[in-house]
Amino acid sequence: MSTLAMFRSLVRRPVLPAALLHLTLLCGVPVRGQNEIYQRTFPVSVNQAKAAVQAASATSKGRLPTLEGFVEQNEQPIDRYEKGYFECFYQVSPAAGEGTVIRATAKITAWYSDPVAARSGYRVMISNGRLETDALDRIAESLTPNAAPSQATLPASPAAGDFRRSVQPVVPAPGTASNKSAVPFAATPHTNITPTFSLPAGANFDSIKAMRSADDKKSQELATLISNLEEIQRGQSHPGDLAAVRKSKTPIFAKPAESSAVLMTADAQDEFQILAVESSWVHVQISGMSRGWIRRAQLEMPSGFAQTAGTESENPVSGGAMFKVAKEETRSFSGSWPPLKGKFVQIEWVEPANPAVTTSRQEKLAFAKSVFLHASANLPGSTQNTEGIVVVFDSADGGQIAAALSSVKALANRTLSDSAFWRECSLDPPESFLDSAKQ
């Protein structure tokens, strides 16, 4: 089951009417918190429970399409987090009476982009319980494949043989430490209680109907979000240039040498886009314009790169060239420059042919001009909507130059001089390409 399919299953669950939800709270259901424990007791042997957990492990980790609805809110804005990843862990132990207790714990990590770049990095998010509940549901379904689906009404207490939702989450008592050894494994006992469907004080059928309508509206909004995500998934191909980190605390260096500065350490299964493969080192994109180097032996390389181990980048360097084009891609312009803001552009990633050699501003401009002319003359037919070209220098002094396609064509037709062309471009930052404020 893919991550998107898991997200769809969470959304399509029936939503209880607000009045029934109010009755549930009155019956004493514990309030969710960050120390909440999710476990259920199943009338099966420990070996059967372990087999069900093993079968569920294949769908118990992966990328999250969004963090909203899966994590507790913290003091940082959620829109500053990206690359959400989750993994569910299970603990199987004998129950106090008969059966087996299965406890689920979800670990969620995401990359946090802080306004202060030095504070950016991967953070551990607090799960709100939806992943754990869904994982236990899948285990229950595997243990009772012929069980009837649950209804969208408030059920009576579960029958003796129905254990899929017979256990409520266990919450540590106030003032006690959230030590795993101190948390009891016994399930919350249930008794057969016939629910009384009386209206809350001050409520009437019209207000309940309005609350139900609001619940339906939220469900419809989530369904629309899923539809949009599916459309995005159909409109783009799965990237084949991502390398996954094998072990936690893997260092990412500033240069392809272990004596260079360590930019950050990565966790296991963190993925980074491959920019180049040079001998035993892999040049990766960390975030935005941030780049780094990781030992190839510490990465799980995609199949297309696994066959080129120990080789240089596939793009050859012409004789005597100071730079080389590492890769090309077409996507929406992420900068704020008005002529290209929000428009599709072709991005040319350029890196030094020899990182140890220092290059001048004039050499960078000269090579950028040749890239602009070559790219405009070789735009593929599938990029009819491309409205600009961006040259990004992936080097220590960095910088990027953005130009509208009309300006590049005027330069190619020699109806625009070099100095006039650079004035029509966006040079960011200008000091990386110009000796002074004027060109």
Q: What is the pLDDT along the chain (439 residues), one digit of tens a residue?
A: 555 555 555 545 554 444 444 434 334 434 444 468 899 999 989 898 899 898 888 888 888 888 888 888 878 888 888 888 899 999 999 998 888 999 999 999 988 888 888 888 888 989 988 899 999 998 998 887 654 443 333 333 344 444 444 444 545 555 544 444 444 444 445 445 555 555 666 667 787 888 888 888 888 888 888 888 877 766 565 567 889 999 999 999 999 888 889 999 999 999 999 888 887 889 999 887 788 999 998 999 886 665 444 443 334 334 446 788 888 888 899 889 999 998 999 999 998 887 777 778 888 888 999 899 988 887 765 445 889 999 999 877 778 999 999 999 999 888 999 889 999 999 988 888 887 644 4
Same structural domain, 425 and 367: yes
Q: Confirm whether 101 is domain-assigned.
A: yes
**What pLDDT, on the 0 to 100 scale, is given for residue 403?**
95
The reported pLDDT for the residue numbered 6 is 58
The domain that holds 303 is classified in CATH as: 2.30.30.40
Structural domain of 111: 31-189
- Residue that finishes a domain, picked among 314, 333, 348: 314
Tell whether 42 and 172 lie within a shared domain: yes
Whole-number pLDDT of residue 188 = 47
The verdict on 351 and 289 lying in the same domain is no
Residues 143 and 251 in one domain: no
pLDDT at 212: 86
Residue 200: inside a domain: no
Cβ atoms of 264 and 284 within 8 Å: the answer is no
User: 42 and 174, same structural domain?
Assistant: yes
- Total domains in the fold of the chain: 3
Domain boundary among 290, 314, 338: 314
Same-domain pairing of 58 and 139: yes
**Is residue 408 situated within a structural domain?**
yes
Q: What pLDDT does 186 receive?
A: 43
CA dist 192 and 183 (Å) reads 26
Q: Is residue 42 a part of any domain in this protein?
A: yes
Domain boundary among 130, 155, 189: 189
- pLDDT on residue 86: 92
For residues 47 and 184, membership in a common domain is answered with: yes
* Predicted pLDDT of residue 405: 92
**In angstroms, what is the C-alpha Rg of the chain?**
28
Let me know if residue 285 belongs to a domain: yes
pLDDT at 133: 92
Residues 261 and 304 in one domain: yes
**Are 428 and 282 within one domain?**
no
**136 and 74 both lie in a single domain:** yes
- Whether 18 is in a domain gets the answer no
Could you tell me if 365 and 435 lie in one domain? yes
Residues 97 and 159 reside in one and the same domain:
yes
Q: What is the pTM of this model?
A: 0.32
| pLDDT on residue 197 | 53
Looking at the domain assignment, is residue 224 inside a domain?
Answer: no
What per-residue confidence (pLDDT) applies to 359?
78
5 falls within a domain: no
> What is the predicted pLDDT for the residue at 172?
52
